[in-house]
């Protein structure tokens, strides 16, 4: 995002082509490398800067060699190279690693370093939802963008028809891909109050403390205690996220008594 008081967060989602192989059955197949006829590659990506309206979308619908995704990756590399944080659903285990695998395949250099926010990991860490899939979470928690169901091309048919060059399938893929990105951004808006994995204040250009929601307005909210310390706690006036001060409020005598194991 271009907000001077916060990091640039790139929300992204990719779609990949399937691995096509020769097999002799439907279940419990041990597929050898020599059975692979066509390896996977990127079909499309949708990305946007968190908090901004513009969505970037690129796909392989108009290229002569659909397996050559280098030009698409070059555009994605430029976006990722400008990001402080990458945000996605299951992006830490899937999207980012898949993208970097294709970067390496095309002998492209690594992007500038970035941190990652994964709504799937946030959901797994803090909650026990019936499902942590984007379809379930966006349906239950999002107001505007819920994961789309395939309309004309159901399930694998969408990918199959895109590979066959079906323009209608590519149009649906674009809509599907972009909507996933928008749903992920809205889902993070709901979940971010629970997540403290990244210190957003590090990206602030001001001397005040910046919350994940972008606010710098805090109110005292009691104290946070550890086994050896007491800290002032604050709550964000906008989203209710909590932070604590770094100063231990116990006086010297109290610190000594804790250290020695005595009480007073």
How much is the pLDDT for 216?
Answer: 77
CA distances from 205 to 145, 201, 208 (A): 32, 9, 9
Report pLDDT digits (tens) over 168-180: 999 999 999 999 9
Q: 82-111 pLDDT, tens per residue?
A: 999 999 999 999 999 999 999 999 999 999
User: pLDDT (tens digit, 9 = 90+) per residue, 32-55?
Assistant: 999 999 999 999 999 999 999 999
Mean pLDDT over all residues of the chain? 91
> Residue 207: is its pLDDT beyond 80?
no
Confidence category of residue 3, pLDDT binned at 50, 70, 90: very low
Do 80 and 88 meet the contact criterion of CB atoms below 8 Å apart? no
Residue among 76, 45, 39, 37 at smallest CA distance from 61: 45
Q: Which domains does the chain have, with CATH numbers?
A: 9-194 (3.30.420.10), 217-260 (no CATH)
Selection from 13, 12, 32 nearest residue 22 by Cα:
32
User: pLDDT tens digit string along 100-140?
Assistant: 999 999 999 999 999 999 999 999 999 999 999 999 999 99
CA–CA dist 88, 244 (Å, integer): 27
Greater confidence, 56 or 3?
A: 56
Say whether pLDDT at 208 is over 80.
no
CA distance 160 to 128: 35
Contact indicator for 241, 193 with CB cutoff of 8 Å? yes
How many residues comprise the chain? 264
Q: Is the separation of the CB atoms in 68 and 125 below 8 Å?
A: no
Average pLDDT of the segment spanning 135-155: 91
For the ranges 167-181, 196-210, 220-234, the one whose mean pLDDT is highest: 167-181
């Amino acid at each position: 995002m271009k907000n001077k008081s916060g990091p640039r967060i790139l929300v992204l989602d990719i779609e990949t082509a399937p691995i096509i192989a020769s097999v002799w059955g439907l279940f419990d197949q041990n597929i050898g490398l020599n059975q692979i006829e066509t390896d996977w590659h990127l079909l499309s990506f949708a990305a946007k800067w968190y908090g901004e309206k513009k969505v970037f979308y690129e796909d392989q619908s108009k290229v002569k060699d659909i397996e050559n995704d280098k030009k698409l990756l070059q555009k994605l590399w430029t976006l990722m190279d400008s990001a402080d944080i990458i945000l996605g659903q299951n992006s830490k285990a899937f999207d980012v690693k898949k993208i970097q695998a294709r970067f390496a395949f095309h002998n492209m250099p690594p992007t500038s370093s970035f941190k990652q926010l994964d709504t799937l990991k946030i959901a797994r860490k803090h909650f026990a939802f019936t499902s942590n899939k984007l379809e379930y979470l966006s349906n239950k928690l999002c107001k505007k963008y819920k994961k789309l169901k395939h309309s004309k091309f159901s399930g694998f048919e969408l990918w199959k028809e895109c590979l066959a060059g079906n323009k209608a399938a590519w149009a649906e893929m674009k809509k599907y891909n972009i909507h996933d990105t928008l749903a992920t951004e809205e889902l993070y808006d709901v979940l971010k109050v629970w997540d403290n994995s990244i210190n957003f204040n590090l990206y602030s250009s001001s001397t005040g403390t910046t919350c994940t929601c972008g606010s710098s307005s805090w109110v005292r909210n009691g104290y946070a205690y550890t086994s050896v310390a007491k800290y002032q706690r604050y709550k964000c006036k906008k989203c209710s996220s909590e932070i604590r001060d770094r100063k231990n409020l116990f006086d010297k005598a109290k610190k000594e008594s804790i250290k020695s194991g005595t009480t007073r």
